[in-house]
Amino acid sequence: MKEGRRGKWLTYTISIIWLFSMALAGFFIPYFTDNIPFFKVKALHIEGLETIPPDVIAEEVGKLKNNWLFINEGILLKNINKVTGNSIHSVEVKRSFGSKGVELRIRIKERKPIFTVLHENNLIFFDEDGNRFWSDYRQITNPIVYTHQIELITNDFENMKNIIDTLGKDLREAYITNLNTIIYTKEGVKITLPPLFLLNRELIQNVARIHMYYNIGLDVKEMEISMEGLVIIRGGKEK
């Protein structure tokens, strides 16, 4: 019995010592690494930026105490996206150890918008994967999409993207509501479609064909296309 109790007490003692040692290590190790020159970044190279100032990236690195031990791609991506409105797609970090210390090379890939949404006086960008982001450093990307409810676009992003891909540079702006989808071409032609959630790839491709068939130069001002493909033309005349 006594040997059993001694064994238990020995196990408890070892566990307490181990936990105490880990607590001390967790407290002192960050302090030591912060004050040892070996762990400090001596040079910072930032690549791939298009619109975001390098100072924004450098500041986030500085918040990690310029300690290369604590700087990794996941943490840096998360921190930078917090201050840039989720406008970074990816971050790649490489470390070079030299006689002068550690050099950090950071490659940034920014998200590229394919259209801009105006929602409640706020500009929201969407990239080709449907990610939305905000950026104070980027100008409006055409086409401009207006909506009172951003979920109408996020829930059916593929349909919105198909419209943009199909009409290409001819598309100037779009209005997305619960009732319909209204798009305007650069020539000023208004095309009214069913709501975004009812659209499909075939109907969207028909929009481009119909738009080309009815000559814009002959004063066609408005077209309305139903789910069944019925086309109502207002203004102008058929070729």
- CA-CA distance, 81 to 115, in Å (whole number)? 20
Residue 191 pLDDT class (50, 70, 90 cuts)? very high
Predicted confidence at residue 54, as pLDDT, reads 94
Query: What gap in Å lies between CA 239 and CA 136, rounded to an integer?
Result: 46
Whether 178 contacts 194, CB under 8 Å: no
- Per-residue confidence (pLDDT) for residue 11, from 0 to 100: 52
Q: How confident is the model over 66-81, as pLDDT tens digits?
A: 665 667 889 899 999 9
Maximal CA-CA distance, the chain: 105
pLDDT of residue 31: 43
Q: What angle do CA 179, 181, 186 make, to 5 degrees?
A: 150
Q: Is the model's pLDDT at 15 over the cut of 50?
A: no
pLDDT of residue 12: 43
26-40, 125-139, 176-190: least confident range: 26-40
Phi, psi (rounded to 5 degrees) for 28: -90, -35
**pLDDT at position 23:** 44
Q: Residue 25 has what pLDDT?
A: 43
Domain map (residue ranges) of the chain: 27-110, 113-234
Give the ranges where 64-200 is alpha helix by DSSP (H).
73-84, 151-154, 157-167
Give the pLDDT mean for 14-18: 48
Q: Looking at domain 113-234, which CATH architecture does it have?
A: 3-Layer(aba) Sandwich (3.40)
pLDDT higher than threshold 60 for residue 1 = no
- 32 or 51, which is more confident: 51
Phi-psi region of 120 (alpha: psi -120 to 50; beta: other; left: phi over 0): left
Spatial neighbors of 5 by CB under 8 A, at least 6 apart, are none
The pLDDT, as a whole number, for residue 8 is: 44
* HEC sequence for 92-131: EEEEEEECCEEEEEEEEEECCEEEEEEECCEEEEEECCCC
Structure tokens at 82: 């917090």
Does the domain made of 27-110 have the CATH classification 3.10.20.310? yes
Of residues 41 and 103, more confidently modeled = 103
| Confidence check: pLDDT of 65 > 90 | no
